[in-house]
Structure 1
Amino acid sequence: MIVPFSVNDFLHRALAVYGERIGVVDEPDQPAPGLGDLTYTDVGRHARAMAAKHDALGLGVGDRVAFVSHNSARLLTAFFGVCGYGRVLVPVNFRLSVDEVRYIVEHSGSSVVYVDPELKDALSDLPAEHVFVLGEDDDLYDFDAEPRAWEPDEEATATINYTSGTTARPKGVQITHRNIWTNATTFGLHTQASDRDVYLHTLPMFHANGWGWPFVATGVGAQHIVLRKVDGTEILRRIEEYGVTVMCAAPAVVASVLDAAPEWREKHGSIPGAARVRIIVAGAPPPTKTVARVEEELGWEFIQIYGLTETSPLLTVNRTRAEWDDLSAEERAGKLTRAGQPALGCTISIGEEGEVLARSNTCLTGYWEQPEETEASLRDGWFHTGDGGTVGDDGYLTIADRKKDVIITGGENVSSIEVEDAIFSHPDVAEVAVIGVPDEKWGETIKALVVKAEGSDLTEQELIDHVKSKVARYKAPSSVEFRDVLDRTATGKLQKFKLRAPYWEGRERQVN
């Protein structure tokens, strides 16, 4: 017997087993009123009403619905109210510029867009048939109608997640119901998720579908605590208030908590969640010192994973094991900075040029409307990650370099080509190369190496401000270094590994 997987399997179990449990605590500090505390029965009711609204708007199976939103219970509900009824959710990074959001809406062909109230003025003229503001519930739900049922198709696209890659324009990663189902159940198994867990949404839900945790936590009946904006002190407060046990975070979030910890300890005496919290980290391997501090100063368990938006995202897991119990915190930390061993059902291989290759049921089916990009990434039976790495004798993967021209800063992928395009649009720029350089807080920051046009008196701050006017602010360089010339090969190509080398000197790995 084969029963097709559906994202709604996770909600259906929560409804059947935990219907009257408070399943979601919405962010209280929002521009529009939140939904407050929702039982899983409430979540199911909102999901059905959202689907019924889309029925009334004439949306059919496969039609795209975009959400440009901070973390919220409404966005969480959409994973079920949109995908669970055969439509395709397009979760959009709310930090993007207006032009970038417009491109994604147009490229995905989204006929309905829901916009965070904080962004409603800036995004009022998006090219979609219907643009609604989250919080204006009359435009979001139809509680008086029963939605049309959808016969699950596990190979159907459930979400399109746009990610920065090697091209200036973001690519739409098509993730199926099967991808989501496999990722969530595998992730839950490796991290021992249960109905005793309380999950804090420190990770943006738009980011690879919150790494799948909207489905993991729902399926096991855990409680969701929605966090709208990341702040180290606020994270500690919610851990204490709600008894949080697990969260996902980029290294920059870990740093923000460590920075807030001394003042918290001075005021409250101890760090909440000691011997209880599991913090799952990805985006770039943090320094050994940071990993050790999580254990020693916070008393939390540090779990490292590796993956990409294209892999739903889980590929490898690195979690402390019984054999390491007698090691010092520093020794354990050194082992935990590796990407880890393949997750259940995943196979990792290293290609001829040192590229990490993956085969898994979590890998994408393709890039939306980009067949050439799809063919380049999915070939010879493997997904080509674009990352360079090695696998040790013990089977642990270590990421050594980034073959794709991508900078990961604060857990966000930034295409250096996109930033270069924005810099080149300034009339005083003759040449530019954008590289990632190590940074203690953000993992990497963006540095622009620039040759000015003859006679120009362009300043560093003027150029940074110009870039911020063109792309999302987090994609702007944090520093600009003006040079007389950028060294090139005989064929005129920039060799970025040589440009990066001085900034990474003395480091074993070319990612941070």
Structure 2
Amino acid sequence: MDRAVELYSDDVGVVADDGTEFTYGELGERIDRLSNALTRWGVEKGDRVALLSPNSHYFIETLYATMQLGALYVPLNFRLQPEEYDYLIDDCDPDVVIADYEYAEKLEHLRGETDVKEWVVYDADRYAEETGEWHDYESVLAEADPDAVDRPDISEDDDATILYTSGTTGDPKGVVHTHRIQHYHALVHSHHVEFEDTDTLLWTSPMFHINGWGHIYGLTGIGGRHVILRDFNPETVFERINAYDVSYLGGAPTVLNMLLEYYEDADVSSTGEMPVRVETAASPPPKQTIKRTEEELGWRIMHAYGATETGPIITTSNSKRKIEAGDKYDIINKPGFATLNTEIRVVDEDGEDVPLNDATKGEVVTRGNQVLDRYWNKPEETKRAFHDRLDGWFHTGDIATIDENHMITIVDRKKDVIISGGENISSIEVQDTLYDHPDVSVAAVIGIPHEKWGETPKALIVTREGSDLTEEGVIDFCRDRLAHYKCPTVVEFRENLPQTSTGKIQKYELREEHWSDQESGVN
């Protein structure tokens, strides 16, 4: 932020969801005002400040205002149920909580029941409940000192943020990133997604997820422009791409599919004057989705891979040389090779490297400057994550193969491998096949109990509008393309499937429907 203010003070740095524009100079002053307010309330180095908000300009402001005080920034998932915040607030124990007007009510029951000292709501007049002790965000800034704050001595090894994992069973784990981790992620990610100061980023990915995949640091430091999208809507995405000449956005495969489906019948341009590149992550994209995004939308896809614990990005397939030397869509489809400052290995159960044959499966382990420091208040989980198969390496829980070019391919999560009659079935391989069917909009494949085989694949499908696809049609389609033991034996059609905020299908919810009453299971 210091660099952006110094070099691009008069340039628009952020366009709020309502169209309000802030130059980097104005943004820097708002950040200092918030920092001074937090200081007045007693926030010091090592304290926590939590934010519950959809994508917003005050997400960016709160992040920098907190971190320059040496306090820890804790963005919360705004899509949870009210009672789910009980654990999160108790676990991180923030001194100040800032909430968006639309989501503040989810925290109302915690006021007076926690050690939180100050509660702030953005746009208090729009908050339906009696605000009482809630401070209004803009009033707080207006009354605060605009001068630069006195920053404490901050070491690169000091904690910067706590990011809670999603999409897993059990209590969420708070992933602790230090200032060093954030610093290196800004450098590494900016290089691999080719950020320049002429870039305009449209915020289609949730900012709370790994602090917006780290774009808040990288693009800001480069001097690019942030265009905020509060709520994802395909029509609005294309409108803003054209209105602001957007050149970059992020999107999980499910997001890309929604955009493609809208674009089929929409009379709208997919780009402005600048070419568009899109980074896809969260789950392996079907090749058909990659191909359609590039050929129909004209967007250049960059496939990345990582996790909340890893910064996030630790691999990428964004290599022009490798793409030109091989099958374009095969290369892009791979999560890819290790990024700068990162080591990647794929190891068997004994911690030995699997052969570089793109066939033998193992777990992805990694180490580097972007890997988490620890899990907040969870020493045993931290120890297990770094010492399961191999000491000193973070264990991702992802099963992959690796080829002679040291490019990995994720074939499953440990828990997503379906073992049917002794055969290992990759649910991702089956899902990719389902996505080749023109009537399939969203698909998930899970293992369900089977009396004879132990497990059998089940497909859960959301079809495109007007489809008359049947269970028999799905099974026959798969049998024409896969070994029969890999094909779904059960197909269920649904209107929607449970997803995390980043577009990952929550398979554990789907599996739980079938395994919850089993004495033992492989879910």
Q: Are the structure 2 counterparts of residues 158 and 278 from structure 1 closer, same or farther at C-alpha, using a change threshold of 3 Å? A: same
Matched, 1:341 2:337: yes
Q: Unpaired runs of 5+ in structure 1?
A: 1-10, 29-33, 408-434, 451-463, 497-512
Matched, 1:258 2:260: yes
* Alignment correspondent of 1:303: 302
- What secondary structure is seen at the aligned counterpart in 1 of 2:32? helix
Q: Unpaired runs of 5+ in structure 2?
A: 124-135, 350-361, 419-426, 436-440, 451-493
Q: Are the structure 2 counterparts of residues 55 and 303 from structure 1 closer, same or farther at C-alpha, using a change threshold of 3 Å? A: same
- What secondary structure is seen at the aligned counterpart in 2 of 1:85? coil
Instruction: Quote the offset at 1:125 in angstroms.
Output: 2.7
Pairing of 1:12-27 with structure 2 (within 5 A): 12-27=2-17
Instruction: Quote the offset at 1:335 in angstroms.
Output: 1.8
Pairing of 1:37-116 with structure 2 (within 5 A): 37-116=21-100
Equivalent of 2:401, from 355, 372, 390?
Answer: 390
Pairing of 1:223-262 with structure 2 (within 5 A): 223-262=225-264
* Alignment correspondent of 2:383: 375
Q: Are the structure 2 counterparts of residues 110 and 445 from structure 1 closer, same or farther at C-alpha, using a change threshold of 3 Å? A: farther
TM-score, with structure 2 as normaliser: 0.75
Which string of whole-angstrom CA distances, capped at 9 and with x for unpartnered residues, describes residues 301-330 of structure 1? 000000000011010011251453487xxx
The amino acid across from 2:237 in the alignment is I
Could you tell me whether the CA contact under 8 Å between 2:37 and 2:141 is conserved in 1? yes
Instruction: Quote the offset at 1:66 in angstroms.
Output: 0.5
4+ residue segments displaced more than 6 Å: 445-450, 476-483, 485-488
* Alignment correspondent of 1:363: 371
Q: Distance in 2 between matches of 1:391 and 1:446?
A: 24
Which string of whole-angstrom CA distances, capped at 9 and with x for unpartnered residues, describes residues 145-197 of structure 1? 64332222111111100003654110000011111111111111112111010
Q: Are the structure 2 counterparts of residues 49 and 448 from structure 1 closer, same or farther at C-alpha, using a change threshold of 3 Å? A: farther
Q: Distance in 2 between matches of 1:192 and 1:155?
A: 27
Q: Distance in 2 between matches of 1:70 and 1:153?
A: 30
Instruction: Quote the offset at 1:448 in angstroms.
Output: 8.5
- What secondary structure is seen at the aligned counterpart in 2 of 1:15? helix
Instruction: Quote the offset at 1:481 in angstroms.
Output: 9.9
Which string of whole-angstrom CA distances, capped at 9 and with x for unpartnered residues, describes residues 429-452 of structure 1? xxxxxx9994754564889889xx
The amino acid across from 2:122 in the alignment is L
Could you tell me whether the CA contact under 8 Å between 1:166 and 1:405 is conserved in 2? no
- What secondary structure is seen at the aligned counterpart in 1 of 2:214? helix
Instruction: Quote the offset at 1:129 in angstroms.
Output: 2.3
Identity level (%): 34
Q: Distance in 2 between matches of 1:235 and 1:205?
A: 16
Equivalent of 1:218, from 217, 220, 234?
Answer: 220
Q: Are the structure 2 counterparts of residues 479 and 399 from structure 1 closer, same or farther at C-alpha, using a change threshold of 3 Å? A: closer
Q: Which has the higher contact order (CA 8 A, sep 6+)?
A: 1
Matched, 1:132 2:120: yes
- What secondary structure is seen at the aligned counterpart in 1 of 2:106? coil
Could you tell me whether the CA contact under 8 Å between 1:251 and 1:442 is conserved in 2? no
Q: Distance in 1 between matches of 2:78 and 2:17?
A: 16
Could you tell me whether the CA contact under 8 Å between 2:247 and 2:274 is conserved in 1? no
Could you tell me whether the CA contact under 8 Å between 1:251 and 1:443 is conserved in 2? no
Q: Distance in 2 between matches of 1:475 and 1:290?
A: 20
- What secondary structure is seen at the aligned counterpart in 1 of 2:397? strand
Matched, 1:144 2:145: yes
* Alignment correspondent of 2:467: none
TM-score, with structure 1 as normaliser: 0.77
RMSD: 3.2
